[in-house]
Amino acid sequence: MPMRLAARLLEETPRRAVALAVAGAAFAVLLIGATPTGAEERATYQSLFDQVAHAQDCKQQDDADLLIVTCDKTQDVWYFTKPDHPAHPGVIRRSIVQTAQGVSVAERGWSFASDAAQPAFKTFLAQIGALDAQVRDILAAQHGGPPILPPGIRIYGNWQPQGTDSEAVVSLTNHYFRLEDGGRYEQAYALLGPALASMLPLTEYAALADRAIAAVGRVKSRTIKTIDWEKDSPLGPPGIHAALDYEAETERGQLCGYVAWRRSPDGFFVLVREETNLIPATLGDAEKTALKAKLHCPA
């Protein structure tokens, strides 16, 4: 049986724990996703809000730490942070884009916060990007692609996931691994929560990932085996967490490990822990079995 999430979060000497973060950037306004117009370069939090707040086709939804505005005519969704959001004041706009390859979604973000809040804004923007990846996964499944939840996956823990929470963390985990396996370390790094962000700089995170590739080769496939949902465990930090055990086949061996996500009140998830264990192909079958048991690799 995989280790419980609460015990994992208390480990002080993980075999290879990767803490991920985003390096802060010294800018007051961040525009991502398109070439800014003159008006966008001069935009303020209030001017962007005024742009959509009174439009007849736009509807507002009040969330935990966000105000979400959906505009039917332009097919845009706007996210305005509230004062208790770590990236406040910040704005993100999701737009439907028609290209020669079909319909896609683009994100554009503005941060008006201090330099200290820029890592939080990058995480916020990465979370929105992960939502778009989830939409792509859902559409692929609806058109004959693989289901988001792998067949036979075991879901357990002291908390019952709500609605599509399990699908969301599986899609998010697959998105994160696509970034990591593709060498897009900075984008993967942006999904980390602040506690992990304080543990390792991006350069060390990238070095650890490169070291794993050097040891067993690039990942050919990953399989998520279990999801452990825990809420306010007495042995761990408060809140709702999901730990996903996985195994992976590589060019010269195997990986096993887990990622743990914390669910925020607004429904977004941040990565709070990652552990990756290397199983070299040079080991004999008995040695591999013993090592997997010692490392609590999923069965």
Other C-beta atoms closer than 10 Å to the C-beta of 174 total: 21
| Separation in Å, CA 144 to CA 60, 88, 134, 148, 164 | 34, 40, 16, 12, 19
pTM: 0.82
Q: How far is CA 26 from CA 29, 38, 112, 119, 175, in A?
A: 9, 21, 12, 10, 28
Q: What is the CA radius of gyration of the chain?
A: 20
Residue with tokens 């332009």: 74
What pLDDT tens digit does each residue of the chain (299 aa) get? 333 333 333 332 222 222 222 222 222 233 333 444 555 667 999 999 999 988 999 999 999 999 999 999 988 999 999 999 999 999 999 987 776 766 678 889 999 999 999 999 999 999 999 998 998 898 889 889 889 998 889 999 999 998 899 999 999 999 999 999 999 999 999 999 888 888 888 999 999 999 999 999 999 999 999 999 999 987 777 899 999 999 999 999 999 999 999 998 888 999 999 999 999 999 999 999 999 999 889 87
